[in-house]
Structure 1
Amino acid sequence: MDNYSKALEFYEKALKILEKALPPNHPDLAISYNNIGAAYNNMGDYSKALEFYEKSHQIYEKALPANHPLLATSYNNIGEVYKNMGDYSEALKFYEKVLKILEKALPSNHPDLATSYNNIGQVYSKMGDYSKALEFYEKSHKIYEKALPSNHP
């Protein structure tokens, strides 16, 4: 926790500098907001994490095309916070947005797709829908089998 507090301190200093130097919707601000959100998420302060991830996402939505991979990352971060909070239906909504972008942007055997399927599988598992969870875990596993060497842990 102590390292996250220290990181947060520096991220907040960087943000103050960027807010003075850049226009309010500059993508570098989105990166800064995202970093602060990640620190709060890792510290377990999910409401603050969500606040900063959403600020980051709002900038990305204005600055990037609808299927840009950074938007997928942003949706994923928000989904992770909802999952951590135990709000699985909300997490699922965001993870499905991630999947929709990645399916268009990446080849069907890309490891990021496997991660996305795995995240959705985790949420279904937490919701008690084990058959749906298995369906997504199997999709994930199939990609990992092809994409990773056989001796990969």
Structure 2
Amino acid sequence: TPTPDNSRLWEVQLTITDESDPQLAGLTDYIKEEIDGEGWGRMGQLMLQVGHFDQAEELYNELLKGASDDSDRAHIYHELGRVKWQQGQYEKEIEFYEKSLEIYRKTLPEDDASLAPTYSNIGLA
């Protein structure tokens, strides 16, 4: 949960568990396989996986403010599109995917395969 003094800080409650717990081991393996990326971006994907869409959106907006290059911005816009899809805000979803695509198209060839997920998501929206 966000701390009351600073909304950019989060307080996380941890519980000691036994490493031999097969359910926990299975969940840990699943999360490692399903959630890729690094650092805060990985946290955003985890938030999406567990249904904390507003928190994921907040995190991605903060990441967008600090994005250092176009590739990062394009990826974050794509993730914000995923957030809006989960929230059922399809017009906003398309806007974010189009922003992502606009940036990617400046840096990648038109037929680059990495554009396919963004085109696909626009079509599905």
TM-score category by the smaller chain? 0.5 to 0.7
Gaps of 5+ in 2: 1-23, 32-37
Corresponding position of 1:74: 76
1:32, distance to aligned residue in structure 2 (A): 2.8
Conservation of the 8 A alpha-carbon contact between 1:33 and 1:55 = no
Amino acid in the other structure paired with 2:113:
P
1:57 to 64, 72, 77: 64
Q: Equivalent residue for 1:38?
A: 45
The number of residues matched between the two structures is 93
How many Å separate the matches in 2 of 1:40 and 1:78? 12
The answer to whether the 8 Å contact 1:72/1:102 transfers is yes
Q: 2:55 aligns with which of 48, 58, 78?
A: 48
1:107 aligns to 2:114 (yes or no): no
Per the TM alignment, residue 56 of structure 1 is displaced from its structure 2 partner at its CA by: 1.1
Flag the structure with higher helix content. 1
Q: Secondary structure at the match of 1:92?
A: helix
Is the aligned partner of 1:94 residue 2:96?
yes
Q: TM-score, structure 1 length as denominator?
A: 0.55
Identical aligned residues as a percent: 28
Alignment match, 1:122: 124
One-letter amino acid of the counterpart of residue 70, structure 1: D
**2: CA distance, partners of 1:97 / 1:105:** 13
Partners of 1:93 and 1:111 lie apart in 2 by 21
Task: Note the aligned Cα RMSD (angstroms).
Answer: 2.0
Q: Distance in 2 between matches of 1:51 and 1:32?
A: 15
SS in 2 for 1:97: helix
Report 1:121-140 matches (<5 A). 121-123=123-125
- State the 1:33 CA deviation: 2.5
Once residues 45 and 105 of structure 1 are traced to their aligned partners in structure 2, the CA distance between those partners, rounded to angstroms, is 32
